[in-house]
Amino acid sequence: MKAVVKTAIVFFTLLAGILLSACATVVATAGGGLAENLNTAILNQDDPNLVRDGAPAYLLMLDSVVQGSPENVAALSAAAQLYSAYGVVFVNDPVRARKLTKRARSYGQRALCAAKKSVCGIWELNYGEFTERLDLLGPKELEALYTFGLSWIAYIQAHSDDWAALAKLPQAQATLVRLQQIDELYEQANIERFLAVLDTIRPPALGGDFDSGLEHFERALSLSGGYDLSVMVDFARYYARTLYDRELHDQLLNEVIQADPVQPGYTLFNTLAQDEAKALLESADDYF
C-alpha cells in the first residue's frame, strides 16, 4: 500500500476501531457475536487494502440506516466516524477526501444536535461563545461530542488549504478538552494523542504549544502501553520534525519499523503506521 496520505494526520487510523464499536449498536440485531467478531477481525487485519476496499459497503449501509433513523445518535455517530476515517486515511484524491469529510462533519453535527438540541449550531459561534456552550454538555452527550470533535478535525485536515477551516482548530481542541473534563477516563489515550497533534501541527511561531504537546505525547505513549505504533509516528512527524530534532525523529521511526505490528486490537493500525514510518524515514534527508 502506498504511504498513507502524505500530509495525513495519522491518528485518524484509530478511528477505524472506534467507529466499529459504534457500528456494533447498529448491527447488533444480526445476532450472536457478529458485530463484535467483525470488529475484532478488522482490528487484527494486516492487509489495509482489504479494509479499504470493503469500507464503501459499510458507508452505504450506514447512509441507509441514518435515512431510516435520522435522529439516532448511534447511527449518526457511526456514519460520521466511518466517513472521517475513510476520507482521511484511505482516499488519496483531495477533491474526494474533501467531499467525504464534509459529509462526515455533517453527520457529526447532526449527532450533536440529536443528543442535545440546545447546542445545535454551536460550530457557527466564535471561540468564547463556543466554549460557554460546551459547558452545557455532560455525560449523556459524551459519544455525540466525541464524534462531533473527531469529524470536525477530519474536515479541517482534508481542507488544510482553507484558512476558514483552519481557523476552527481552537474550537476542535476545546471540544477534546471538554471531553476530558466530563470524563477523564473516556478514550483517554486517544484524546491525549489527538491533543498532542493539535498542539504540534503548527510551528511555535504560529501558535503551536510544544511543551504541552510533549506532555500529551508522553501520556499517550504511557496509556497505550506501547502497543499503538501510530503514536510514535505522530510524535516523529509533528513534534520531532517541526523542531528539526533528527535524532528523536529517526529513533522513534526506527522503533516503529522494528516492532512487531501484530498486537491484538492494533494490527491494522500498526501496519499502517509502519508504512508511514518508512515513508518518513525515506524523506528525512530532504527534510532535515
Instruction: Output the pTM of the full model.
Output: 0.82
**Alpha carbons 148 and 151: distance in angstroms, whole number:** 5
Query: Is the domain covering 1-185 a CATH 1.25.40.920 domain?
Result: yes
- As given in the structure block, the three cell numbers for residue 255 are 522503533
Calculate mean pLDDT across residues 59-81.
90
The string of pLDDT tens digits covering residues 94-128 is: 999 999 999 999 999 999 999 999 999 999 999 99
* In the block, residue with C-alpha cell 447532526: 110
Higher pLDDT, 56 or 254: 254
Residue 50, pLDDT score: 85
Average model confidence (pLDDT) across the chain = 86
- As given in the structure block, the three cell numbers for residue 183 are 470524563
The string of pLDDT tens digits covering residues 250-270 is: 999 999 999 999 988 889 889
Distances (CA, A) of 194 to 110, 177, 268, 272: 22, 10, 19, 17
Residue 212, pLDDT score: 97
Q: Has residue 73 got a pLDDT over 50?
A: yes
**Alpha carbons 153 and 104: distance in angstroms, whole number:** 10
Distances (CA, A) of 8 to 29, 116, 121, 135: 35, 31, 28, 31
Q: Where are the domains of the chain?
A: 1-185, 187-288
- As given in the structure block, the three cell numbers for residue 12 are 485518524
Q: What percent of the chain has pLDDT over 90?
A: 58
